[in-house]
Amino acid sequence: MKRVVIMGATSGIGLMVARKLAASGMRVGVAGRKTDVLRQLKEQYPDNVEFESIDITRRDATRLLRVLIDRLGGMDTYFHISGVGYENVALDPRKELTTIETNVTGFARMTGYAFRYFRDNNGGRGHIAAVTSVAGTNGIGRLAAYSSSKCFDQCYLRALNQLATVEKLDIKFTDIRPGWVRTPLLYDDRDYPMTMQVPYAAKRIIRAVRRRNRVAVIDWRWNLVVGLWRLIPNWLWVRLPIKVDSIASPAQEREHAAELRAEKP
């Protein structure tokens, strides 16, 4: 993992991982929508960081990713961290579709491109890592689009893994599945079960990526929870009144509302 591109490096886990890898001396390509944060990373680590403003929901995202890869001098690991999520009991279609557009369409767009890049370059070698979520284990009613999108991401990585194996490509895959992490997605004044701080989670995430673990649940407590969830039969799961505090912070809700207003004619 000498040259890594991090998609979603402007806040939370992505920003922390980018800083740690750049500080360790690695060549890091950072991407996201907040250009000012990306520029600050470049200023902080001028010799190790290259950046490009990329919105994964736009069709030009893969072209810009290639620009970043070329600027970095190539890519050994693609690390996808971009994602959004809302608690949406009302099933507001705009929130549901925004989640799917980012976490499903954007995910497939970018990881699919990374697969094609490694297949056609680097002698068919590479590493695709992505942060999904423990929420992808089963569908959660209050997080219908979010949990379903993370399930898609996990299945997509598994399918790409199979494709690489059948085509005899040396592409490795790492699926990172964290529980609650205290990032901007969470409300500051709310308590969440078994919440992890970003430095704690980032350290374990980097270790899993370096080791190229196929699946890594972050952390051991959530690994136990996920194991229990898998034992619950579907007939019982759909009857569980699972309550989840919102995973969209007030800032993210305001940003979403602004985007919706901008879309109105």
% of the chain beyond a pLDDT of 70: 86
Token pair for 123: 């002698």
Question: What are the tokens at 7?
Answer: 């998609």
Helix (H) or strand (E) holding 215: strand 215-218
Stretch 101-124: mean pLDDT: 96
* Predicted confidence (pLDDT) per residue in 6-28, tens digit: 999 998 899 999 999 999 999 99
3-state secondary structure of 9: coil
Range of weakest confidence among 136-145, 183-192, 238-247: 183-192
The whole-angstrom separation of Cα 88 and Cα 120 is 41
Identify the pLDDT of residue 99: 95
pLDDT for 179: 83
Distance in angstroms (rounded) separating the CA atoms of residues 37 and 161: 33
DSSP class of residue 97 equals H
- Residue 115 CA to residue 10 CA, distance in Å, equals 23
Mean pLDDT computed over 75-96: 93
237-252 per-position pLDDT tens digit: 999 887 665 555 445 5
* pTM (predicted TM-score): 0.89
Chain segment 31-71, per-residue pLDDT in tens: 999 999 999 999 999 999 999 999 999 999 999 999 999 99
pLDDT of residue 18: 96
Q: In which band, very low, low, confident or very high, does the pLDDT at 1 lie, cut at 50, 70 and 90? A: low
Task: Retrieve residue 105's tokens.
Answer: 């369409």
Query: In angstroms, how far is CA 83 from the centroid of its own chain?
Result: 5
For residue 181, report the phi and psi dihedrals to the nearest 5 degrees.
-125, 135
Is the pLDDT confidence value at 257 over 50?
no
> What are residue 216's DSSP bridge partners?
176
Q: How confident is the model at residue 236 (pLDDT cuts 50, 70, 90)?
A: very high
Residue appearing with tokens 């079960």: 193
Residues 59, 35, 254, 88, Cα dihedral to 10°: 50
